[in-house]
Amino acid sequence: MLSRFRPAAPGGARLSARALRDGAEAHARRRDGLWPWLFVLPLLAGIGLFYLWPILQTFYFSFTEWGVFGGSTWTGVDNYVRLVSDPDLYSALGNTVLYTAIVLLGIPLAVWLASLLNTPGLRFASFYRVLFFLPYIAMPTAIAMVWRIIFNGDFGILNFLLSLLGIDGPYWVSTPGIAIVAVAIVGLWSSLGFSMIVLGAGLKNISPEYYEAAELDGASPWRQFVSITVPLLAPSIFFVTIITVISSFQLFDLLYAILGSQNPILPKSFSLVYLFYQAGFVTNEKGYAAAIAMVIFLLIGLVTLLQFRLQKKWVSVD
Amino acid sequence: MTRTPRIRRMPRWAAALAAGAGLTVAIAGCSSGSAGPDQAAGYTAPDKDLTAEITYAFWDATQQDAIEANIAGFNKEYPNITVNLDVTPWEGYWTKVQTQATSNTLPDLFWLNGPNFQLYASNGKVEPITSEIDAGAIDPANYPESLVDLYNLDGTQYGVPKDFDTIGLWFNKKIFEEAGVDTPTADWKWADLTAAAQTISDKLADKGIYGVAAGMDGQTTYYNTIFQAGGDVVSADGTTSGYDSAEDRAGLSFWSDLIASGASPSIPQLTDAPADQWFTSGKVAMFYGGSWARSAIADSEVKDDVDVAPLPAGEQQATVIHGVSNVVAANSTNKQAAQALQVYLASKEAQTEQGDLGAIIPAFNGTQAAFAESYPGVDLQVFLDATAYAKPLPVSKNSAAWNAVEAKLLPDVFSGATDVDSATTDLATQMTALLAKE
């Protein structure tokens, strides 16, 4: 009875205190004038100069044809017309979405692993945490080198292990369609550590009383996981999902390093950012590259917006 | 292989705005600007006590020792000119130089290769050597003619080659002996290679050894066979692609046939380990390799079993020749010092030293003896004799644009996924359109 009653009282108190504080803040704002702006100016100047201004410039240049060494001519929407009819855009979009989907599979895995690591009284918990986090802080290029050897079709350890199970493994990094899956496996593996740290922090915020109460009511560990851990972890899961989607949409370095710039199937395995890189720095079409960058920008913005909308349906912050 | 990755790690804040913005930073980093070559300067050798500080940029760190030796020689003549060396590995070199050219901050003297030369020359980024030729400081007749032409645009000479490379047929004598096949000779034709490769692949299949390694790189493989078939990649006037000609198709089919018959490893196999690695690990009997492969092969486990022969002839004998050139930036503020170094590096003395110390073939006629003798038991003279029938690497003003189309369409031809005729028709159409845009 008591535990049911308890959350309500401080909640109500918090609400009224907050209303008071908001009023005070509004009052303070009027009095402070330009001072607050002065304090955030250094940060704003940096963001303006290195983020907002380049975005505006890129937007402008996406309507131009840009010479290799600068100098641009206005071409209107030509770049976008060409982009919409470029089959490479759709294959790059498909590859990027496939990669993102596979890497997202790592989140349920991370939830499960994080709750295992959070088991009270687990020995060597810090050791395991370090172990899972290591790939995240390792150099992507170094990771790629090692995985490229693992993925080798004839002499790689992965296909050797598969052969023990009687499976004839593919040429992982040189078969169209499979290469992007191979890259995604590495992406999933290397992002697991970060997700687990964030989720682990979220788990620590769940009061043990819920579990005690559930245990008294006779709930199984699985039931506790589904009915307590997952819903209360939802804000952390949401955060990790957003971060993962955004960074997956920016797939470039793993793809570049695992497949190699000479790989004959690379053109079929382009991600969106690779398409941008190819146009901007390999074939010297910077205006076209700017248009691709704007499309990526909009896509990431839209997907993130969509996620914020959808979160209202499943993330409850109380 | 050195690669330059982009960092993908996200900041903790999940702001979509910031995420998208990261992408746009790179592209906006290059602001516009243009500059033409300074026409006024006529070249005269500078005073011996000229004081200046110049930068010399290149990509091949293995040549650094030879270059430092060159600079030491240069400083005996001009003790007060300080030369700073700027080495950027291949993968990052072109991005860097392009950015520098855009912002008019190019190094005073830098390496340029065939595929990129016309791009920089036509945009006025490099200084012609006309005045140095007029002053008698550089004589183009001292270098292989086809390579001198590579650095000539619309009748103006912008540089002379500092070195050159040609392609030869490297082969493993031990594997030939094991399979009981006669080793390649200078008289070989395409059919001889195909037959030998097939026999070796069949006989040594249980050891995983193949006859020949195909490749996916134009310079070492299919450009050679296209020339041998009598075809052209870019027409002489630089306006049309030759890929839809019967000759070019024959040059490409040569490779797809070798892969289809199993005489060569498959394209996926050649991706996991490139042709030169197959050869140095003793898993193929032959591969088309450049003269630059010498040092890698001489360090490998097959070093005592190899030799080299001229490429087998098709309709005619041919090989691709290419070489790097030292060019002076049009915007250099120390042009006289930079040109003095350019002249010195093109001299017989400097190039002989390059040949003695480096892994390269110097371009100055008559300085190549050191290279020919640098691998006892291997007939490296083949690479020098090849200059007699060599053709320059096909290039245009924006070579990278159609190189990307080649890289996209040709692998499917070699693997047999698409037929040669339709793929080359497509390739030729796209490439000719790109050439028209230049």
- What CA dihedral angle connects B410, A253, B398 and B245, to 10 degrees? 0
Tens digit of pLDDT for each residue in B360-396? 899 999 899 888 888 889 999 999 999 999 999 999 9
Gap between the Cα atoms of B288 and B305, Å rounded: 16
The answer as to whether A32 is a domain residue is no
B317 interfaces chain A, CB cutoff of 8 Å: no
Residue range A301-307: average pLDDT? 92
Number of domains into which chain A is organized: 1
The answer as to whether A10 is a domain residue is no
DSSP state of B350: H
Strands of B325-328's sheet, edge to edge? B81-87, B52-58, B109-112, B325-328
Residue that has been written with the tokens 């992507």 in this structure: A140
Gap between the Cα atoms of B283 and B206, Å rounded: 12
Q: Output the domain CATH number for residue A123.
A: 1.10.3720.10
Which residues in chain B are closer than 8 Å to A75, comparing Cβ atoms? none
Please report the pLDDT score of residue A123 as a whole number: 86
Tens digit of pLDDT for each residue in A169-179? 899 998 888 99
What is chain A's alpha carbon radius of gyration, rounded to the nearest angstrom? 25
**Do B125 and A69 make contact, defined as CB atoms within 8 angstroms?**
yes
B16 interfaces chain A, CB cutoff of 8 Å: yes
Among chain B residues, the shortest Cα distance to A303 is held by B16
Which residues in chain A are closer than 8 Å to B208, comparing Cβ atoms? 154
Please report the pLDDT score of residue A30 as a whole number: 67
Alpha-carbon B322 to chain mean position: 5
Overall residue count recorded for chain B in this entry = 438
Gap between the Cα atoms of A184 and A104, Å rounded: 10
Q: How far is A162 from chain B (nearest CA, A)?
A: 18
The answer as to whether A225 is a domain residue is yes
Among chain B residues, the shortest Cα distance to A191 is held by B9
Q: What angle do CA B386, B389, B391 make, to 5 degrees?
A: 100
The answer as to whether A41 is a domain residue is no
Please report the pLDDT score of residue B256 as a whole number: 95
Return the SS3 of B307.
strand
Tens digit of pLDDT for each residue in B49-96? 889 999 999 999 888 989 999 999 999 999 999 999 999 998 889 989
The whole domain housing A170 covers 77-314
Instruction: Indicate the pTM of the whole model.
Output: 0.82
Gap between the Cα atoms of B321 and B36, Å rounded: 30
Which residues in chain A are closer than 8 Å to B102, comparing Cβ atoms? 68-70
Tokens representing A32 are: 């402070």
The answer as to whether A31 is a domain residue is no
**Do B21 and A260 make contact, defined as CB atoms within 8 angstroms?**
no
Please name the helix (run of DSSP H) or strand (run of DSSP E) that holds residue B212, with its range, or none. Answer: strand B210-213
Residues near A31 by beta carbon (within 8 Å), at least 6 away in sequence: none
Q: How many C-beta atoms lie closer than 10 Å to residue B194's C-beta? A: 18
Among chain A residues, the shortest Cα distance to B270 is held by A174
The answer as to whether A236 is a domain residue is yes
Let me know: does B23 contact A276? Beta carbons within 8 Å. Answer: yes
**Do B16 and A304 make contact, defined as CB atoms within 8 angstroms?**
yes
- What ipTM does this complex have? 0.77
**Do B9 and A247 make contact, defined as CB atoms within 8 angstroms?**
yes
Tokens representing A106 are: 């790592």
From A239, A264, A289, residue closest to B267, measured CB to CB: A264
Gap between the Cα atoms of A180 and A253, Å rounded: 13
Q: How far is A230 from chain B (nearest CA, A)?
A: 21
Tokens representing A13 are: 């108190």
Among chain B residues, the shortest Cα distance to A255 is held by B5
**Do B3 and A261 make contact, defined as CB atoms within 8 angstroms?**
yes
Domains annotated on chain B, with CATH: 44-165+322-366 (3.40.190.10), 167-320+394-437 (3.40.190.10)
The answer as to whether A6 is a domain residue is no
Which residues of chain B are under the pLDDT cut of 70?
Answer: 1-42, 358-359
**SS percent in chain A: helix, strand, coil, step 5:** 75, 0, 20
Which residues in chain B are closer than 8 Å to A144, comparing Cβ atoms? 5
> What confidence category does residue A23 fall into, taking pLDDT thresholds of 50, 70 and 90?
low
The answer as to whether A52 is a domain residue is no
**Do B272 and A257 make contact, defined as CB atoms within 8 angstroms?**
no
Handedness of CA A4, A9, A14, A15 (dihedral sign): positive
> What confidence category does residue A34 fall into, taking pLDDT thresholds of 50, 70 and 90?
confident
